[in-house]
Amino acid sequence: MKIADRIRTKLTESLSPVRLEIRDESDRHLGHAGHDGRGESHFSVEIVSPAFEGKSRVERQRVVYGLLQAELAERVHALALRTLTPAEDDARS
């Protein structure tokens, strides 16, 4: 299973997001540390979930990093996160 699919499955099952965008940005990091040529090493994730209500930005990121611990240990070198509540996401529109 592709890393992006594993990320999507874990975040969806645990956080029931109303919106989830996962971008594999590995190709933008050719020659950088952590890029070994296999790809699937650098990701950007934007997730909107009611599970983030009442949590600080740091707490939200800790939740996501905890869920993706295996992927971070195995292959993912960089993970950029944007974690929002549905109200925060609506306010951006």
Sign of the Cα torsion 62, 65, 69, 75 reads: negative
Average pLDDT over residues 7-13: 98
- State pLDDT tens for residues 22-79: 999 887 656 665 555 666 788 999 999 999 999 999 999 999 999 999 999 988 888 9
Helix (H, G, I), strand (E, B) or coil at 36: coil
Enumerate the domain spans of the chain: 3-92
Q: Give domain 3-92's CATH number out of 3.10.105.10, 3.40.50.300, 3.30.300.90, 3.10.110.10.
A: 3.30.300.90
pLDDT band of 86, cuts 50, 70, 90: very high
Query: Which pLDDT does position 75 carry in this prediction?
Result: 82
pLDDT band of 1, cuts 50, 70, 90: confident
For residues 45 and 81, is the Cβ–Cβ distance under 8 A?
yes
Query: Which pLDDT does position 40 carry in this prediction?
Result: 79
